[in-house]
Structure 1
Amino acid sequence: MWRDDAAVQIAAKYGTIYAIHQESDSIEAGSNGGRATVYGLDPDVIPVILNLEKGAYPKSTTLVVVGSTLAGRLELTIGSKIDIGDADEGDVTTVRVVGLLEERGMSMDLNTDSAIVGSEKLFTGIYGGEGEYNQVNIVVNDLNDVDTVKTAIDDQLNRKEDEVTVQDSSRMLESITSTLSTMTTFVMAIAGISLLVAAVSIFNVMMMSVSERTREIGILRSIGTQRDEILKMFVYEASILGVVGAAIGAVLSLTIGYVLVLGMVGTAEYFFAPGSVVYVPVAMLVGAGICVVSGVYPAWRASNLDPIEALRAE
């Protein structure tokens, strides 16, 4: 429970403050059922912090808005009725859907995608606990005020002993960003090692090709083929290997990546976003370039073989 008028006044100067009532309960809509999170919020705050995909915001205690994931799972539309509570115990409250919320994703404040959101009076009418809540959120108007608000509330409520825990969601975002950065660095290191292995492999393949075709090179030189033509022949061969390999790698990467993202996240809606797809042609160019560079020395060696010595090779 969190209740302090001075702290409310402090927070209200810097942004929007609202209390969250939250409970998990059984729900039923027509022939579909399951469990969902039920939120109770100040009706005046709901339009400020939540965006509608369609419909309207709840104006009475019998109206609610629902998240996109829950709406899809229970086939809810505007006007659908939901029974909240356990029918076997005879404690059921029926509400009507007046709005569908935009997809919001995971967050530290409200996870509304699989939830029902109604007024505080609706919530306390079902679960009781009027004036009591376990979490209060503050949406600041300016991110630069976060530390000021946090310090002021901490000084007001935790002067003698710790009564509340004050968390800054931006710190969580920094932690997640740091973790993702570490993972990205790790993946890039693996990619770098893979490129190095690929370069060595291409180099070995080209060197073997030169060794196996020494006599062929000698014949070409003896009939008047110039050194730069021999050089270009082997560079072109390395280029073809690089382009074909990069194309196959790009197709496999997109296919495997799509399957992994779909399995882990549940949607691949943003997988083909321009910011992500742009790395595919870049990676192809890098791969093809590595192959060309790896084939330069074998090509140079082939072009500088002595024709007479090359013809003697078996």
Structure 2
Amino acid sequence: MLFLSLALRNLRRHRVRSVLATVGIIIGVVAIASLGIVGASLSALVGGMVADVSDTVLVTPHLAISSGDPFDPRNTLAARISDETVRLVERAAGQHRVIPMILASDRVRIRDTEGYVTVYALQSDDIPFLIEREAGLYPQARSPGVMVGALLAEEFDLHPGSRIEVGGESVRVAGVAAERGMGIDINPDYALIVTEEWYAARHGSQEYSRVVVKVGDLAAIEGVKDAIDQQVNRRRDVVDVLDSREILELYYETFDAINIFLLGIGAVSLFVASVSILNVMIISVTERTAEIGLMRSIGVTRRQVLLMFLYESLILGVAGSLVGGIISVAVGYYVSASVAEFFTDFAVSGSAGMLGPAVAGYVAFGMAFGVAASIVAGLYPAWSAAQKNPIEALRYE
């Protein structure tokens, strides 16, 4: 306890220097914890996006430069799936429901607001298999009405019978879809859902953007995928076939890499803070050389001198890590609340509660990293102080 008291006394004697070194640790701990929590939040968001469509096989056009990921931005090139390919998919899928769709956008005007909206065009009898109805009717093949997504309807106070302008044409809202959330197959909450006949009458017949296969038995997913691949890609790669689990794995791998990168950025800030502590400790050892010589001459061992200086770096690390941890908890809950709000606003399935353990884990990791970095930074100065010759140290001016 004596040497701990001496360490505290020395830190108090140089308050400004000690506070600045502690601030560096605080910043490093907050950086590691906060960036880790951000990465965990993104990962949780992605998990929520695809968690409820585990029965889905997604068939997308194959591109020579594509990675196979249906969300790869290179897949925005004008690639389509032909009617013949859809028939091959239906043959391979057997009894499972095959739902081709056209994904497009169109200009929409709702009262005084004008912009572009996502449009999903499906065969009329396929719509109920993907979208639940909250109010009104599903669009029918020979009906001019459209269905609007739940959040779009809520934002603009739309209901069955409302009139909106789509592509310069006034159309009636036939129904409102129930909130579904984001998914790998269809994201209708801020979109218009129309029949394929309605879309073709205004834009001409087009090939499909993607094909969704709803597999009744989850154990049959691999078999369905293999059958589609063998049937359609027999001579050359025409389509890419993925299920929601593979897409989830792709995203987890991507966000794990992002998370490691973010943690690396935080670690760099802690490294800078540890260099600051190293500098403080070296200066402290230099200033107290005569004191070290006096202590050694009255019987203080090298180990005790080593511990005294290590206590100083440990105190700086613990103080900075505790304050940084408290700030990180506040930041973590703010991030969690933001993700929870995103889940609510965009109807993403999942719960922000899953971030609770992640917040605690990253805060603990950041604090432990901060303490460890401080101790490592103090090792060399402490060792240097312990190795000083007592007689030479007493002569130091």
TM-score (norm 1): 0.69
Q: Partner residue of 2:93?
A: 11
Q: Does the C-alpha gap of structure 1 residues 272 and 30 become closer, same or farther in structure 2, counting only changes over 3 Å?
A: farther
Instruction: Name the CA distance, whole Å, in 1 between partners of 2:150 and 2:118.
Output: 10
Matched, 1:165 2:248: no
Q: Which has the higher contact order (CA 8 A, sep 6+)?
A: 2
Instruction: Name the CA distance, whole Å, in 2 between partners of 1:113 and 1:239.
Output: 53
CA RMSD of aligned residues (A): 4.5
Instruction: Name the CA distance, whole Å, in 1 between partners of 2:167 and 2:364.
Output: 55
More helix by share: 2
Measured against aligned partners, the alpha-carbon deviations of 1:123-170 in whole angstroms (never above 9, x if no partner) come to 45655649x6453221334666455334433444566x6695343256
Indicate if the aligned counterparts of 1:46 and 1:57 stay in contact, CA closer than 8 A.
Answer: no
> Identical aligned pairs, as a percentage?
34
Q: Partner residue of 2:170?
A: 92
Which letter does structure 2 place at the counterpart of 1:313? Y
Gap regions ≥5 residues in structure 2: 1-81, 345-351
- The 3-state SS of whatever aligns with 1:168 is strand
Q: Does the C-alpha gap of structure 1 residues 98 and 240 become closer, same or farther in structure 2, counting only changes over 3 Å?
A: same
Instruction: Name the CA distance, whole Å, in 1 between partners of 2:343 and 2:388.
Output: 54
Q: Does the C-alpha gap of structure 1 residues 142 and 283 become closer, same or farther in structure 2, counting only changes over 3 Å?
A: farther
Matched, 1:274 2:356: yes
Instruction: Name the CA distance, whole Å, in 2 between partners of 1:145 and 1:98.
Output: 33
Indicate if the aligned counterparts of 1:67 and 1:116 stay in contact, CA closer than 8 A.
Answer: no
Indicate if the aligned counterparts of 1:28 and 1:82 stay in contact, CA closer than 8 A.
Answer: no
Instruction: Name the CA distance, whole Å, in 1 between partners of 2:288 and 2:320.
Output: 23
Q: Partner residue of 1:35?
A: 116
Measured against aligned partners, the alpha-carbon deviations of 1:78-129 in whole angstroms (never above 9, x if no partner) come to 5583514244xxx321215523423316x3x324343112445554565564
Measured against aligned partners, the alpha-carbon deviations of 1:193-245 in whole angstroms (never above 9, x if no partner) come to 66556555533432331121122334556788777665444223202322344
Give aligned pairs, total: 296
Indicate if the aligned counterparts of 2:88 and 2:232 stay in contact, CA closer than 8 A.
Answer: no
- The 3-state SS of whatever aligns with 2:241 is coil
Indicate if the aligned counterparts of 1:242 and 1:287 stay in contact, CA closer than 8 A.
Answer: yes
Q: 1:288 aligns with which of 331, 355, 371?
A: 371
Gap regions ≥5 residues in structure 1: none
Aligned-pair CA distance for 1:18: 0.8
Which letter does structure 2 place at the counterpart of 1:92? S
- The 3-state SS of whatever aligns with 1:242 is helix
Indicate if the aligned counterparts of 1:64 and 1:97 stay in contact, CA closer than 8 A.
Answer: yes
Which letter does structure 2 place at the counterpart of 1:149? V
Which letter does structure 2 place at the counterpart of 1:213? R
How do 1:179-258 residues align onto structure 2 when only pairs under 5 Å count?
179-187=254-262, 198-199=273-274, 201-219=276-294, 230-246=305-321, 251=327
Indicate if the aligned counterparts of 1:26 and 1:85 stay in contact, CA closer than 8 A.
Answer: yes
Instruction: Name the CA distance, whole Å, in 1 between partners of 2:161 and 2:328.
Output: 44
Matched, 1:302 2:376: no
Q: 2:192 aligns with which of 105, 111, 116?
A: 116
Indicate if the aligned counterparts of 1:37 and 1:115 stay in contact, CA closer than 8 A.
Answer: yes
Aligned-pair CA distance for 1:292: 1.7
Indicate if the aligned counterparts of 1:25 and 1:84 stay in contact, CA closer than 8 A.
Answer: no
More displaced stretch, 231-240 vs 297-306:
297-306
- The 3-state SS of whatever aligns with 2:393 is helix
